Amino acid sequence: MKKLKIITHPLVQHYLSIMRDKKTSKAEFKESLDKISYIVAAETFAALSLGNKSVNTPFKKIVGKKVNETVVLLPILRAGLGLTKGFTDLYPEILTSHIGIYRDEKTLKPVQYYFRFPKIQNKKDATVIILDPMIATGGSVIFTIECLLNMGIRKIKVVSLLCAPEGIDAIEKSFRSNEKKHIEITSCSLDEKLNEKGYIIPGLGDAGDRIFGT
Q: Kindly report the CATH number assigned to the domain that includes residue 147.
A: 3.40.50.2020
Q: Are strands 155-159 and 127-131 parallel, antiparallel or unpaired?
A: parallel
Each residue's pLDDT tens digit, 135-182: 998 999 999 999 999 999 999 999 999 999 999 999 999 988 755 568
60 part of a folded domain? no
61 part of a folded domain? no
55 part of a folded domain? no
Each residue's pLDDT tens digit, 91-142: 999 999 999 988 777 776 778 999 999 999 888 889 999 999 999 989 999 9
Would you state the pLDDT for residue 124?
85
Task: Give strand ranges (E) for 7-104.
Answer: 50-56, 61-67, 71-77, 95-96, 98-103
C-alpha angle 71/72/74, rounded to 5°? 150
pTM summary value: 0.91
Compute the distance between CA of residue 146 and CA of residue 165 in angstroms, rounded to an integer: 20
91 part of a folded domain? yes
79 part of a folded domain? yes
193 part of a folded domain? yes
Containing domain of residue 109, as a range?
Answer: 4-48+67-212
Compute the distance between CA of residue 20 and CA of residue 28 in angstroms, rounded to an integer: 11
180 part of a folded domain? yes
Please tell me whether residue 104 adopts helix, strand or coil conformation: coil
- State how many domains the chain has: 1
